[in-house]
Amino acid sequence: MGRKGSRGGRLAAFGAAVLVGALGAPAASGGQSTGDTPSQRESAELLYHCETESGQRDVRARMALSLPETASGEIGVTLRATLGEQVVSELAADGVVEVTGVMSATVLVRKTDATDATDEPVLLSDLAVPTTPLPTDGPLPLTGTGAVRQLTTDGPGEYRVSADRFNLLLGWRPSEPDPGDGSDNGTRPDPGESDPDEETPSDTAPPPTTDAGGGAAPAGRQQSPPARAFDCVPAEGQDTTITTLVRTDDGTTEPVPDADGPRRPAGDRAGERVGTNAEQADIPEDCVDFADLNNAWCAYLGGYTNVNRMDAAMRIDPGIVNLALPIIGPCNDGSEWYWYCQTARAELRHNGKKQFPPTRNSFHAFDFMPNEATIELTQIGDMEIDVRSQVVSPYDGSVVAHATLSVRVYDVTVNGVELDVGPNCRTEEPITVELKADYPGDYSPATGGFLDGYSKIPPFSGCGVDSNLDPLITGLISGEGNYVKMTQGQICDIRTGQYCPPVPPELQR
């Protein structure tokens, strides 16, 4: 299976959003001070090569960690990136006055007292970038802040933490016409912000709606240009070390004394990072890069669907779902400027087929008769996941997944006796399923989570060898209003090998 070079993309709060990492779960809290204190550790200023839609751009960045005083405290994360004058000029040419956005970053953690230790990637997501004015000249400094509950899960010991790649998605309020034509000239506050002591002027647009459907853009408002996404990798030959930490028996994380002393030779780490991230042995064969989009991920997906006719729940064992995501951008549907959208494509895969793993289920027909059957769900056509999110805090949004599936039933037994339904006992028409979730709270393509909704199971046909069993199977299974809840696990980045192998989720009911 071929691998393409990564274009990374927006992870964190948008679902190109990248992900809960393999070793730590990000928390949505505010940033920490970046002063030089005993609990603060910061990398040197590093040069990053960033892929953008306009080509490669160089960015300078520092990553800092603020350590908690107790085992239950969170580790503060601060990423300070400086965009060069070329980027500032490009933004100014688009009429940008101020920017806002979200960062996600990866650090590499290695247990130094283990001979077979390797660098493990840990995601630091949802690093909020506050609204920042565009300078009239010179570079643009941006700061993303957030927190992570823990960097290490491999027990007590000494760990070295190093900066790795980061992603930045910049959004901005579009330019406004001059005040003379009745607009507010870009001075309208962010969603949810208002001055309680100030009357709303008649020439100010009404407060923006937070409804996922958005609303018509105010008269005179220009169309927002696409968001600018940066996928940044540190240049080779740099010492990317942030600090060395000790995790004690009670779970407290402390800096190693003199951790800023001699470090590993430059260049040694770069080759190690590539070897770790590109490890293909951890990527399942059913994980495939099936679309030429910005990200190529795979994860496990499974769940339950009610069968109302039998007052029972049918399990769907977790199988691989492949995800392809474009760069997120303005919704372009008349929504306010801060609504951004993307449509991910998804493809099921089990042993090379576009389906879930066939799952054996047990039921009690008519509340007393035990029966069993193997259920096979096969994808028909395309599967899509529509994501809408605000580019400003609190990043509210929604997810709607659309799938069309064929349902096949076989190996049926009733009261322990085989019922020969034949090889082609399936719904006479595919099931169309629409599942929804709040974003990013319940689900994002990158971090996983659950989506739910309802489905109609159509009548069955082709059931039976010696007799027509269509009415029996239809009477047992078919019907409307069947509740469905699907759970996706954390993703595996197919192109880089990060966060692999994917882990099957604990299915929610």
At 226 the pLDDT is 57
Task: Look up residue 63 and give its two tokens.
Answer: 């990553």
Burial of residue 84 (CB within 10 Å: 0-12, 13-18, 19+) is middle
Check if the beta carbon of residue 214 is closer than 8 Å to that of residue 333: yes
Distance separating alpha carbons of residues 366 and 351, to the nearest angstrom: 35
Strand partners, 314: 305
**8 — alpha (psi -120 to 50), left (phi > 0) or beta?**
left
**Residues 31-40, mean pLDDT to the nearest whole number:** 47
The string of DSSP codes covering 150-182 is -S--S-SEEEEEEEEEEEEEEE-PPP---GGGT
Burial of residue 496 (CB within 10 Å: 0-12, 13-18, 19+) is buried
For 314-367, the pLDDT digits (tens) are: 999 999 999 998 877 778 788 877 788 889 999 999 999 999 999 999 887 665
Distance separating alpha carbons of residues 225 and 213, to the nearest angstrom: 20
User: Over 90: is that where the pLDDT of 61 sits?
Assistant: yes
Q: Which one, of 1, 2, 16, lies nearest residue 293 by Cα?
A: 16
Token pair 């099936």 is found at 290
Distance separating alpha carbons of residues 441 and 97, to the nearest angstrom: 31
Check if the beta carbon of residue 126 is closer than 8 Å to that of residue 146: yes
Backbone angles phi, psi at 129, to 5 degrees: -105, 115
Say if pTM beats, i.e. exceeds, 0.85. no
Distance separating alpha carbons of residues 197 and 204, to the nearest angstrom: 16
Nearby residues of 233 by Cβ (< 8 Å), 6 or more positions away: 48, 49, 50, 164, 165
E-strand ranges in 281-368 read 295-307, 312-325, 329-330, 339-349, 359-365
Cβ neighbours, 10 Å, residue 468: 11
Distance separating alpha carbons of residues 237 and 223, to the nearest angstrom: 42
Percent pLDDT > 70 in the chain is 73
Alpha carbon distances (Å) from 256 to 124, 146, 246, 382, 450: 21, 23, 6, 52, 40
Mean pLDDT of the chain: 77
Check if the beta carbon of residue 307 is closer than 8 Å to that of residue 365: no
- Cα angle 368, 374, 379 (rounded to 5 degrees) comes to 130
Work out the pLDDT band at 141, boundaries 50, 70, 90: very high
Beta-carbon-side half-sphere exposure of residue 345 (alpha carbons within 13 Å): 15
Distance separating alpha carbons of residues 328 and 340, to the nearest angstrom: 6
User: Over 60: is that where the pLDDT of 3 sits?
Assistant: no
**Higher model confidence: residue 72 or residue 88?**
88
Percent pLDDT > 90 in the chain is 40
User: Over 70: is that where the pLDDT of 15 sits?
Assistant: no
Task: Look up residue 139 and give its two tokens.
Answer: 């570079």
E-strand ranges in 73-209 read 75-83, 98-111, 120-133, 140-148, 157-171
Work out the pLDDT band at 474, boundaries 50, 70, 90: very high
At 366 the pLDDT is 60
Backbone angles phi, psi at 357, to 5 degrees: -60, 135
Parallel, antiparallel, or unpaired: how do β-strands 383-390 and 369-379 relate?
A: unpaired
Work out the pLDDT band at 415, boundaries 50, 70, 90: confident
Distance separating alpha carbons of residues 252 and 184, to the nearest angstrom: 51
Backbone angles phi, psi at 298, to 5 degrees: -140, 155
User: Over 80: is that where the pLDDT of 42 sits?
Assistant: yes
For 270-305, the pLDDT digits (tens) are: 333 333 343 455 899 999 999 988 889 999 999 999
User: Over 70: is that where the pLDDT of 186 sits?
Assistant: no
**Residues 100-109, mean pLDDT to the nearest whole number:** 86
Check if the beta carbon of residue 385 is closer than 8 Å to that of residue 343: yes
Nearby residues of 13 by Cβ (< 8 Å), 6 or more positions away: 102, 125, 126, 128, 389, 395, 440
**Residues 40-60, mean pLDDT to the nearest whole number:** 91
User: Over 70: is that where the pLDDT of 196 sits?
Assistant: no
Check if the beta carbon of residue 145 is closer than 8 Å to that of residue 31: yes
At 402 the pLDDT is 96
